[in-house]
Amino acid sequence: MPPTFAQLGAPDFIVSALAQRGISQPFAIQAATVADALAGRDVCGRAPTGSGKTLAFGIPLVAGVGSAQPRKPRALVLAPTRELADQIKTELRTFAGKRRVGVAYGGVGYGSQIGSLRRGVDILVACPGRLEDLISQGEANLSAVDKVVIDEADRMADMGFIPAVRRLLDQTAAKRQTMLFSATLDGDVATLTRDYQHNPVRHEVGDTTPDVSAADHLFWSVARTDRTDICAEAIDAAGSTVVFCRTRHGCDRVAKQLNRRGVAAAALHGGRSQPQRTRALAEFTAGKVQALVATDVAARGIHVEGVGAVVHYDLAADHKTYLHRSGRTARAGLGGVVVSLIQPEQVKELKSMQRKMGLEQPVTDVDVAEIRQPSRSRTRRRTLEHSAAKRQSGRRRGSKNRSGSRGRQRSSQR
């Protein structure tokens, strides 16, 4: 039987705060690393996205951080994206007690971030670019930081942040505890470990890529002009869904088309302001919108529990992108479904991608009933079947009269 958080050495106030949220048994990466981190050792942890790394480093940070002076945080968490930084901050605050947790990232004004630093922040969660800006303005000083976490280090490398990470680490206390967490530990990540960690204890949990077997994978043959209708039906069947498009414009267009069909959807991409991105993610997390329509870059580091499905509205660029997209569902031991909307000319490209992932599912006709959700009633199933029947009927009418009203409607939606 796995140890409890108390048995791993977590203080009572943290154990109590976690218990109030129904969290009592640690995940594998937490069970592996928390005791070593609480003992002050440098930790190098490999675990897939969504495996519980925030608690793995958050518990030791909260338990051991000192009290900060104005502008001089005592602990630093570096994250590659604004959304991930905000999520880490929110998670830490749920069990931080009297410890003060602040956040710093770009895309928003400096005022509130500077204000919190001036009041004193014990744990600062930050993206590298904004933190360097605050340091250059004299609003942040890292000389008192004796605990550092580099989260999603592989994504830091993918996004070109390693030079900034190095500059920031060079400004922290010479004698410090450094924890690094990543989905992979090779390349630039291995170099970071070598240069900035002292005799780290290494823990590796799970696969190096998301476990594709944790979800059901469906590949549907869909005409380009039917994708939005079918996507809406899939969301209606699965519930909370992340829809992936290749471009920002595509995200905006698909989100608008889904909303017109009665599916509450919000777009998430780099062209939207940070308040817009924050609001979209918050509404999706709270269940106020059914679908988050995102680009690959914007979705990096997004951790939302209970996502019922992922829809590849646009085929992924390669098998690695497919895996990381698909990893938004079937997380933390829960099930999920991954639906790819495949156009006839994409089948050859898809088959090559499937071979690299060990997936052998055929490309089939659309069957929304395959998206199983236990809470869906028979009436709901009949509604979906009726919707599908209407779509098929509409296709036949459209093929007979391309200049008819349905043809005009589709032209306006594209």
Whether 172 and 216 map to the same domain: the answer is no
Task: Measure Cα distances from 104 to 21, 78, 89 in Å.
Answer: 26, 10, 10
Whether 189 and 225 map to the same domain: the answer is no
Whether 166 and 287 map to the same domain: the answer is no
Domain boundary among 153, 174, 204: 204
What are the backbone angles phi and psi of residue 220, rounded to the nearest 5°?
Answer: -105, 135
Task: Provide block-wise average pLDDT over 10 residues at a time, the chain (414 residues).
Answer: 90 96 91 96 86 92 97 97 91 96 94 97 97 98 98 87 96 97 88 95 76 82 95 94 95 97 93 85 91 82 80 92 84 80 94 90 92 43 38 42 33 31
**What CATH number should be reported for the domain holding residue 359?**
3.40.50.300
Q: Is residue 121 part of a domain?
A: yes
Whether 194 and 61 map to the same domain: the answer is yes
Helix axes 111-119, 128-136, angle to 10 degrees: 70
Residue 299: per-residue pLDDT: 64
Q: Is residue 184 part of a domain?
A: yes
Whether 321 and 246 map to the same domain: the answer is yes
Q: Is residue 175 part of a domain?
A: yes
- Of 335, 339, 337, nearest to 316 by C-alpha is 339
Residue 155 domain boundaries:
5-204
Q: Is residue 394 part of a domain?
A: no
Copy the structure tokens of residue 33: 């690393």
β-bridge pairing 147-150 and 75-78:
parallel
Domain boundary among 141, 174, 204: 204
How many domains in the chain?
2
Whether 138 and 183 map to the same domain: the answer is yes
23-31: long-range contacts, CB 8 A cutoff, minimum separation 24: 23/55, 26/2, 26/52, 26/55, 27/51, 27/52, 27/55, 27/56, 27/332, 28/52, 28/205, 28/206, 29/53, 29/56, 29/181, 29/203, 29/205, 29/206, 30/5, 30/55, 30/56, 30/59, 31/2, 31/3
Sign of CA dihedral 184, 187, 188, 194: positive
Whether 236 and 283 map to the same domain: the answer is yes
Residue 335: per-residue pLDDT: 76
Q: Is residue 399 part of a domain?
A: no
Whether 276 and 342 map to the same domain: the answer is yes
Whether 190 and 253 map to the same domain: the answer is no
Whether 219 and 242 map to the same domain: the answer is yes
Q: Is residue 220 part of a domain?
A: yes
Q: Is residue 76 part of a domain?
A: yes
